[in-house]
Amino acid sequence: MIGKHIRHIKRYQEIVSVLVKYGFGYIVKDVGLFHLLSLPKQIVSDFSGNGNDQKSLGQRIRLMLEELGPTFIKLGQLLSLRTDILPGQIAEAMRDLQDRVTPVDPQTIKTIISQEFGSSVEDVFAQFDETCMAAASIAQAHHAILKTGEEVAVKIRRPDIEAVIENDIEILWDLASLVEKRYEWARTYQIIDLVEEFSLAIRKELDYIMEARTTEKLHDFFSKDDHVIIPKVYHDFSTKKVLTLDYVHGYKYGELITDHPKGIDNKLICERLVRSFLDQALICGIFHGDPHPGNLFFSPENKIVYIDFGQVGYLNESMKRDFGDLIIGLMKGNTELLYRTISAMAVIPDDLNERQFKADLDVLREKYYRLPFKDVHIGKVIRDVFDVTKKHHIGIPKNYTLLGKALITLEGLITKLDDDINILELAEPYGHRLIIRRLDPSELSKKILMNGYDVVENSMRLPSLLRKTLTHLYKGKTRVEMKLPQLEFLLAKVDRAANRISFSIMLLSFSIILACIILGETFGSRSLLSNVPILGIAVTVVLFMFMIVLLSIFRSGRF
């Protein structure tokens, strides 16, 4: 960590200075980064955590992230979706980070395009609008027209953003480690895991070739749906740093609420938004992982327009089935189904208390059992499930958490447009479809064939695996692990008994040695050492040794 401090010393100093500026100086001091501040700031700064009372905690965090730059703005956007972790007011403040970024100057943008295509902007596009349409933490978009006449949106990555993000990610890893060591809340919220999730997500978002492929898959999936628009990708005008898509016209989410555009039917918009998302997740298996207002537009014909597929989730057939079973288990009051489903979906710790876990599932089941779908909010269901799994240290795979967060975000959006719309009511037909598909003879036969293939394949591999195991046994390379839950308790009892025996032996030895010295002094013959206080010295030495052994026994805590 010292090496990283030296390599990124200037950036560390910037970060700790901004933390102190917005009232988080106590964290800087607690985690041991106080020395990175300049001497004047060390003297005049407030490290109590009681300053900046004129602004709310959410506002201070948002302003701090904005000042720290693109990486931290993107981190704030991720945190804005984590309503399962953050208080509502803070998450709401994080959402304001979406559109508040200063655009890169047009000349720099043109230079990037020229470097990517080996030609000037004028040679690549018939027309390129220098005015930025939208600026985000990683990229910004410009309107343009191709030589062939198509109207397009060009998304260009910010200059040197990859190096900036990689440096900041290294620092975030260090800070997360320091904070988790110092604060219980940081360990509870698994800050290190959040940084890992963030680093993986942002690296994917930096690669526009990957985003182009995902966008094209969903464009093809919705190609026959008249209610959903996914922009077409122009691969000849796209690279790792530049992405060119169809330009789509439409209203922003905020305009639906404030301006009430003519011809827009909020109820219809909400239904199509929910159904299009469920189509992505439960049919296509690829879904938009960040459907916040900045990534959605709405056409005058009440069509849903999705943009920016930098963050997506994936559900395979078994994951779709498990997610459906989770909702069915809650609605039908089936604790055993809930237990089996979560066990299949998640990473279960070895020391799970099954009895307590099932008891908590019973409480969860009773909360939603027999409730009509219209009275159940999907966001609340997801938060309750996450609370139970978190309590038992059960790890939920990223794609499920991403799906949960996306559904929570969607529910928040549609509630403001039409609070009579319920996601679970609209999702009910998808659940029936999943059940029917599961019982379909062709699907069952496929599953039987696949299972049979696995059995045959594993049977064919068995001889080689057995040979390999026997070879390792013969060479002494096999490692056997045994887990005995009561072993530590038994060893502690044995250790305690051994310490008591040692104490008794030491006490007996001390008594014998002391008796021998006294007898020798009383009945022994006089010598040159008669004037030396042998008895006193011997008693002192033996007593000192006795106390050392006694102290070590008591310090072990097993007496």
Per-residue pLDDT of 257-281, as tens digits, reads 888 899 899 999 999 999 999 999 9
User: Contact 244/152 with Cβ under 8 angstroms?
Assistant: yes
What confidence tier does 251 reach under pLDDT thresholds 50, 70, 90?
very high
Q: What pLDDT score was predicted for residue 341? A: 87
Q: What pLDDT score was predicted for residue 302? A: 95
Query: Tens digits of per-residue pLDDT, 46-55?
Result: 666 665 567 7
What confidence tier does 108 reach under pLDDT thresholds 50, 70, 90?
very high
- DSSP H or E run through 301: none
Q: Which of the pair, 350 or 172, is modelled with greater confidence?
A: 172
DSSP 8-state symbol, 348: -
Residues 221, 303 share a domain: no
Active site annotation includes 454: no
Residues 108, 90 share a domain: no
Q: What pLDDT score was predicted for residue 529? A: 46
Query: Tens digits of per-residue pLDDT, 109-156?
Result: 999 999 999 999 999 999 999 999 888 778 999 999 999 999 999 999
Residues 332, 282 share a domain: yes
Burial code (b: 16+ CB inside 10 Å, e: under 16) for 352-378 equals eeeeebeebbeebbeebeeeeeeebeb
Burial class (CB in 10 A: 0-12, 13-18, 19+), 65: buried
Residues 499, 426 share a domain: no
In a domain, 396, yes or no: yes
Q: Tell the residue number behind the tokens 């011809």, with chain if given.
A: 263
Residues 181, 234 share a domain: yes
Distance CA 462, CA 454 (A): 12
Domain boundary (50, 78, 100) is at 100
Residues 419, 270 share a domain: yes
End-to-end CA distance of the chain: 41
In a domain, 51, yes or no: yes
Q: Is the model's pLDDT at 173 over the cut of 70?
A: yes
User: Contact 179/186 with Cβ under 8 angstroms?
Assistant: yes
Q: Is the model's pLDDT at 310 over the cut of 60?
A: yes
- Dihedrals phi, psi of 442, to nearest 5 degrees: -65, -40
3-state class (DSSP) for residue 97: coil
Burial class (CB in 10 A: 0-12, 13-18, 19+), 166: middle
In a domain, 452, yes or no: no
Q: In angstroms, what CA-CA distances link 71 with 170, 197, 281, 325?
A: 11, 13, 28, 37
Instruction: Choose the catalytic residue: 84, 290, 322, 360.
Output: 290
User: Contact 403/313 with Cβ under 8 angstroms?
Assistant: yes
Structural domains in the chain (count): 4
Q: Is the model's pLDDT at 504 over the cut of 70?
A: no
- Tally of residues, the chain: 559
Q: In angstroms, what CA-CA distances link 300 with 260, 265, 476?
A: 11, 9, 73
Q: In angstroms, what CA-CA distances link 336 with 290, 329, 333, 348?
A: 33, 8, 9, 16
* The pair of three-digit structure tokens given for residue 318, joined into one six-digit string: 């078994």
* The pair of three-digit structure tokens given for residue 264, joined into one six-digit string: 């827009």
Query: What is the average per-residue pLDDT within 251-257?
Result: 91
In a domain, 325, yes or no: yes
* The pair of three-digit structure tokens given for residue 82, joined into one six-digit string: 């984590």
Q: Which of 162, 197, 195 is nearest to 177 (CA)?
A: 195
Domain boundary (100, 124, 145) is at 100
Residues 411, 332 share a domain: yes
Distance CA 206, CA 118 (A): 21
Residues 501, 395 share a domain: no
Domain boundary (100, 115, 132) is at 100
Query: What is the average per-residue pLDDT within 195-200?
Result: 86
Residues 509, 435 share a domain: no
* The pair of three-digit structure tokens given for residue 253, joined into one six-digit string: 């989410």
Tell me which of 224-233, 281-290, 483-492 is least confident.
Answer: 483-492
Q: What is the CA radius of gyration of the chain?
A: 33
Query: Which residues is 287 bridged to in the sheet?
Result: 313
In a domain, 376, yes or no: yes
Amino acid 381 reads V
Residues 231, 285 share a domain: no
Q: Is 433 left (phi over 0), alpha (psi -120 to 50) or beta?
A: alpha
Distance CA 35, CA 13 (A): 9
In a domain, 77, yes or no: yes
Q: In what order do the strands lie in the sheet with 304-306?
A: 228-229, 304-306, 296-298, 251-252
Residues 524, 403 share a domain: no
In a domain, 449, yes or no: no
- DSSP H or E run through 131: strand 125-135
User: Contact 436/317 with Cβ under 8 angstroms?
Assistant: no
* The pair of three-digit structure tokens given for residue 129, joined into one six-digit string: 């609008």
Query: Tens digits of per-residue pLDDT, 22-74?
Result: 888 888 888 888 888 877 777 667 666 665 567 788 888 888 988 888 888 88
In a domain, 286, yes or no: yes
Q: Which of 421, 422, 385 is nearest to 403 (CA)?
A: 385
Which domain covers residue 550, as residue numbers?
Answer: 489-555
Residues 297, 155 share a domain: no
